[in-house]
């Protein structure tokens, strides 16, 4: 019993010492700041991406009608703003008012007609091929009426926004295909070309369905609400908190290495040093993990304590074990410090913080954030995270014990 009291007192004093360090106070303060900032931004009325759209000609009624539809029916993902001409759209992108600038051809109907006149083989190439043809990589007739897209950065958001615009235009392109088909099949009724076009427009206007055909669910059966699906900015918050916990573990390792270099723990016996050092790394993770758990509960991203509590506890052990293993393998403080930005970039882009990519999966599974983010909705079972934590902690203690003698 005396040993337990001594260990608790020692942990309390070490934790008090850690919380006096500015770097850990900053990391701790980042948790409520991150949650508060993300929630404030995500509940604003603005969309994730703003796109400036302009007609190629002011006399093009089809382009003006399409622009009016785009502007008056925004989504949580993309908001469209109207510009008078090409120059105004470019200025909107250059000033940062819009992420992309879309300029339609002088005669949008000619583009739709060229689209509808394509061979069937071209139309079967898929959505990306059809999208490319609209923006100038299709047939010569399509290029004469291509849509111009201005962008400051050719990133994945710009590419996906183009696809969203393609979906908005799809009904008009579908009508163009029907018109071309009716004109090329005179045996279907005794009509003039004008009457056939009017018939195609009639079919289009009467074929509107607002029903949502999709119900989003996680693999564990939990339904994703429309409000949750629309909060694009808030969606990576759990991943960012996990990366922040990993950063805390790495900061604790650097702080520990500095203490060891200065000989502050020479009074600890060699047999107890590996476990003592692991505890020094685990203590700040426990502080930040408690703050992150509370932040998730208050942010609206919380599922249930039966899922969140075991996952957070195991993740804390995974992060501490990973950081401690890195310490005993690299040994030198400058090498560990050089690895910190590499590990953080890997956690941000190789684990599902912003996007779930299946590349270099063995490397992804070595990162502590990967299994945690995958375990919340039962993509990966909790026992895999428990196995990771056990392997990292035990291996770190064994290697650390060998270095202590």
**Residues 299 and 331 placed together within one structural domain of the fold:** yes
Whose CA is closest to 24, among 255, 277, 241?
Answer: 255
Q: Does residue 135 lie within any of the structural domains? A: yes
- Which DSSP state fits 233? T
**Residues 54 and 166 placed together within one structural domain of the fold:** yes
Identify the domain boundary among 159, 190, 205: 205
Provide the pLDDT for residue 313. Answer: 93
**Residues 329 and 359 placed together within one structural domain of the fold:** yes
Whose CA is closest to 327, among 314, 337, 317?
Answer: 337
**Residues 102 and 192 placed together within one structural domain of the fold:** yes
**Residues 302 and 235 placed together within one structural domain of the fold:** yes
**Residues 258 and 371 placed together within one structural domain of the fold:** yes
CB 287 within 8 A of CB 30: no
Whole-angstrom Cα distance, residue 365 to residue 375?
A: 12
> Domain range spanning residue 368?
2-42+231-404
Neighbouring residues of 396: CB distance < 8 A, sequence distance ≥ 6: 274, 278, 321, 324, 325, 327, 328
Q: Is the pTM of this model over 0.85?
A: no
**Residues 96 and 66 placed together within one structural domain of the fold:** yes
Total domains present in the chain: 2
In 3-state terms, what secondary structure has residue 79?
strand
- Which DSSP state fits 119? -
Q: In 262-304, where does DSSP find H-type helix?
A: 273-299
Q: Does residue 199 lie within any of the structural domains? A: yes
**Residues 264 and 318 placed together within one structural domain of the fold:** yes
Provide the pLDDT for residue 62. Answer: 78
Segments in the chain below pLDDT 50: 45, 120-134, 136-138
**Residues 313 and 381 placed together within one structural domain of the fold:** yes
**Residues 64 and 29 placed together within one structural domain of the fold:** no
Whole-angstrom Cα distance, residue 358 to residue 392?
A: 23
Provide the pLDDT for residue 324. Answer: 93
Provide the pLDDT for residue 250. Answer: 92
Identify the domain boundary among 205, 239, 256: 205
Whole-angstrom Cα distance, residue 327 to residue 321?
A: 10
Identify the domain boundary among 157, 190, 205: 205
**Residues 36 and 60 placed together within one structural domain of the fold:** no
Provide the pLDDT for residue 392. Answer: 92
**Residues 100 and 68 placed together within one structural domain of the fold:** yes
């Amino acid at each position: 019993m005396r040993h337990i009291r001594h260990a608790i007192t020692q942990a309390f004093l070490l934790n008090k010492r850690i919380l006096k360090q500015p770097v850990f106070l900053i990391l701790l303060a980042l948790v409520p700041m991150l949650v508060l900032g993300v929630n404030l931004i995500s509940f604003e009325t603005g969309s994730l991406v703003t796109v400036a759209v302009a007609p190629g000609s002011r006399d093009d009624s089809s382009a003006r009608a399409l622009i009016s539809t785009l502007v008056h029916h925004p989504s949580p993902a993309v908001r469209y703003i109207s510009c008078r001409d090409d120059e105004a759209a470019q200025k909107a992108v250059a000033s940062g008012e819009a992420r992309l600038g879309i300029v339609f051809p002088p005669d949008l109907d000619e583009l739709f007609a060229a689209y509808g006149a394509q061979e069937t083989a071209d139309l079967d190439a898929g959505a990306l091929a059809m999208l490319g043809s609209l923006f100038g990589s299709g047939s010569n007739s399509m290029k004469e009426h291509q849509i111009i897209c201005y962008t400051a950065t050719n990133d994945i958001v710009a590419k996906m926004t183009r696809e969203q615009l393609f979906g908005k235009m799809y009904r008009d392109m579908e009508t163009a295909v029907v018109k071309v088909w009716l004109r090329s099949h005179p045996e279907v009724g005794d009509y003039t070309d004008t009457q056939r076009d009017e018939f195609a427009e009639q079919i289009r206007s009467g074929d509107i369905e607002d029903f949502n055909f999709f119900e989003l669910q996680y693999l564990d059966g939990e339904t994703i609400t429309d409000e949750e699906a629309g909060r694009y900015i808030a969606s990576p918050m759990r991943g960012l908190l996990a990366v922040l916990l990993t950063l805390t573990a790495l900061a604790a390792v650097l702080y520990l290495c500095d203490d060891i270099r200065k000989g502050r723990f020479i009074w600890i016996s060699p047999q107890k040093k590996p476990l003592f050092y692991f505890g020094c790394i685990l203590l700040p993770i426990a502080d930040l993990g408690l703050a992150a758990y509370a932040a998730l509960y208050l942010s609206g991203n919380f599922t249930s304590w039966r899922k969140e509590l075991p996952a957070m506890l195991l993740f804390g052990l995974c992060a501490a074990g990973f950081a401690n293993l890195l310490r005993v393998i690299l040994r030198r403080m400058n090498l560990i410090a050089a690895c910190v930005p590499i590990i953080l970039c890997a956690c941000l882009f190789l684990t599902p913080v912003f996007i779930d990519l299946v590349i270099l999966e063995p490397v992804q599974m070595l990162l502590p954030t990967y299994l945690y983010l995958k375990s919340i909705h039962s993509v990966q079972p909790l026992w895999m995270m428990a196995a990771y934590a056990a392997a990292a902690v035990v291996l770190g203690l064994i290697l650390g014990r060998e270095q202590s003698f």
